[in-house]
Amino acid sequence: MEANNNNPLILVTNDDGIHAPGLERLIEMAGKIGKVVAVAPDQGRSGMSHAITIRYPLRIKKISEEKDCSLYACSGTPADCVKIAINQILDHKPDIVLSGINHGSNSSISVLYSGTMAAALEGGLHGVPSIGLSVTDHSSRPDFSASVLYGEKIIKNTLLNGLPEGVCLNVNFPKLPVEQIRGIKICRQARGIWIEEFDKRIDPQSREYFWLTGYFDNYEPDAEDTDEWALKNHYVSVVPIRIDFSDLNAMDKLTSAYAKAIT
């Protein structure tokens, strides 16, 4: 789909909820580029991945409407927000889908758990160039100055040049002031895993409950082509991610192995 670069229609969403400062900054940034329709969860939906609502009705509420910006709250997940926006709110597909700015990193394996990135992937499923944007700062009021400066460049470049079919961008900004950012680095997802720990506690009724905690273990800390390395070394990381999870190399090996197994 060719973007309308004169006044592109920009669909904005997030997973931190409609009141998140990151959403506010993304709407402001997108408003400088085109017409904005924002459809965001009515409360925080972090860590929802690509969950969708099927057992309960979805509800949307228009919060505000101005000449070039409309804001809606949705009772569902980030993926729901993109689905219902494209199917019920917009009269035609947006030129780009933007999700964020997330409070906290979505680098490496976090992309699998991220509602932010699920919303971007949902946009990609509809054939729309889509970007998830996150800053490596979990505070309620992060410094978004670098995110806005470099985010605007990435958004404009995507509108101008598009993305390959089935590809979205996972963009992460370091927790640094603008003057310390070294630039943008196109890279791959670092291999690693969250080492999960559960903090066991007892409630007033003597019942057990657990808080999920843990830390990220980077399997390749010295690999200079990964998003984790880029962020650690003061770069904005941009990782192209595919909707299609198929591993073609594994298909060839498995085809050969199964052919031998059944003969």
**Res 3 pLDDT > 60:** no
Q: Can you give the three-state secondary structure of the chain, one letter per residue?
A: CCCCCCCCEEEEECCCCCCCHHHHHHHHHHHCCCEEEEEEECCCCCCCCCCCCCCCCCCEEEEEEECCEEEEEECCCHHHHHHHHHHHHCCCCCCEEEEEEEECCCCHHHHHCCHHHHHHHHHHHCCCCEEEEEECCCCCCCCCHHHHHHHHHHHHHHHHHCCCCCEEEEEEECCCCHHHCCEEEECECCCEEEEEEEEEEECCCCCEEEEEEEEEEECCCCCCCEHHHHHHCCEEEEEEEECCCCCHHHHHHHHHHHHHHCC
**Res 245 pLDDT > 50:** yes
pLDDT of residue 236: 98
pLDDT of residue 13: 98
Question: pLDDT category, 74, cuts 50, 70, 90?
Answer: very high
pTM across the whole model: 0.93
pLDDT of residue 1: 45
Question: pLDDT category, 256, cuts 50, 70, 90?
Answer: confident
Span 7-13, average pLDDT: 97
Span 217-228, average pLDDT: 96
Count CB atoms within 10 A of the CB of residue 180: 10
Mean pLDDT of the chain, nearest integer: 94
d(C-alpha 1, C-alpha 195), whole Å: 41
**Res 2 pLDDT > 60:** no
Token pair belonging to 100: 């964020």
Q: Are 172 and 237 in contact (CB under 8 A)?
A: yes
Q: Are 21 and 141 in contact (CB under 8 A)?
A: yes
Span 244-254, average pLDDT: 89
**Res 262 pLDDT > 60:** yes
pLDDT of residue 5: 64
pLDDT of residue 4: 62
Domains by residue range for the chain, with CATH: 9-191+220-261 (3.40.1210.10)
- By CB atoms closer than 10 A (0-12, 13-18, 19+), residue 177 is exposed
pLDDT of residue 214: 86
pLDDT of residue 71: 98
Q: Are 33 and 152 in contact (CB under 8 A)?
A: yes
pLDDT in tens, 117-156: 999 999 999 999 999 999 999 888 899 999 999 999 999 9
Q: Which of 134, 137, 133, 225 shows the shortest CA–CA distance to 176? A: 137
